[in-house]
Amino acid sequence: MDGRFERRGVRLLLKRDDLIHPELIGNKWRKLAPNLTAAAGRTVVTFGGAWSNHLRATAAAGRLLGIPTVGVVRGDELAGRPLNPSLARCTADGMRLHFVDRATYRGKSGPRTLAGILRAADAEEAYVVPEGGSNAEAVRGCRALGAELRGLAEVVAVACGTGGTLAGLAAGLAPGQRALGVPVLRGGFLAAETEALQREAFGGRRGAWSLDERFHGGGYARVPAELDAFAAEFEHRHGLPVERLYVAKLLYGLVTLAGEGAFPRGTAVAAVITGRPFP
């Protein structure tokens, strides 16, 4: 129960995808599972920053399933420094890290740049999973999330990084339901990315979905003091560990939207809890 929603006649539900597995949490597993099947035992190469949840999940999956993993990390200046706790967890789980400069990292979607990265990482025969894990396979994997929520809420909301979870979620919902994405990055690029992912996975746009771009808190891995205080209060109120980079921004956005009267009275809103605090 939460008075901030109740007084507006709105019911908040929490979809606890963070409980799927202790290490393969929430949407990370939903996106990784079909890609690991497609990899068919080959080394898996993927990409991320120094605090990437996706790198940690991929490394954990590799350890649990006996699949070699390589993480291409943004920022070659990090190569000579002690590993932060996130990257240290990756290596403890057997992931081999390959650091690249930021210009090369930005160009990784280009075939020539990607080929050069794979060659330098001694992983030319590897199966490549994009940054954040979002591709057609991942989107189709996330469709099950929407199917699990059919008939349970008029609005299903999720924090978004690369758009794959939103793209699949929306496709899996029933008619009359809509998905709401809360981007955690700045830039206003996610609508086009989500549409492109749905085209790749399903041949065109699927489901009713929209984005609210106001709650990124300054960008990825930015946690303003106000947001941190909100998350701490939500934890105290509901006994739910609130992950700050994604989940806190989602919940803050939903509380704000409820206060603005964005949801008609009688609406049930399901918030997908995609992660837990690290470490």
pLDDT 10s per residue in the chain (279 long)?
899 999 999 999 999 999 999 889 889 999 999 999 999 999 999 999 999 999 999 999 999 999 999 999 999 999 999 999 999 999 999 999 999 999 999 999 999 999 999 999 999 999 999 999 999 999 999 999 999 999 999 999 999 999 999 999 999 999 999 999 999 999 999 999 999 999 999 999 999 999 999 999 999 889 999 999 999 999 999 999 999 999 999 999 999 999 999 999 999 999 999 999 998
| CATH annotation of 3-21+134-272 | 3.40.50.1100
CA proximity to 180, closest of 240, 250, 249, 132: 250
Question: How distant, in Å, are the alpha carbons of 76, 98, 245 from that of 80?
Answer: 8, 12, 26
Query: Which pLDDT does position 220 carry in this prediction?
Result: 85
Catalytic residue chosen out of the listed positions 52, 86, 109, 210? 52
Query: Which pLDDT does position 139 carry in this prediction?
Result: 98
Residue type at 272 in one-letter notation = V
Architecture in CATH of 43-125: 3-Layer(aba) Sandwich (3.40)
Question: How far apart, in whole angstroms, are the C-alpha atoms of residue 163 and residue 252?
Answer: 19
**Is 86 assigned a catalytic role?**
no
Query: Which pLDDT does position 262 carry in this prediction?
Result: 98
Query: Which pLDDT does position 279 carry in this prediction?
Result: 82
Domain residue ranges of the chain, discontinuous segments joined by +: 3-21+134-272, 43-125
Do 3-21+134-272 and 43-125 come out as alike in CATH topology? yes
Instruction: Note the residue count of the chain.
Output: 279
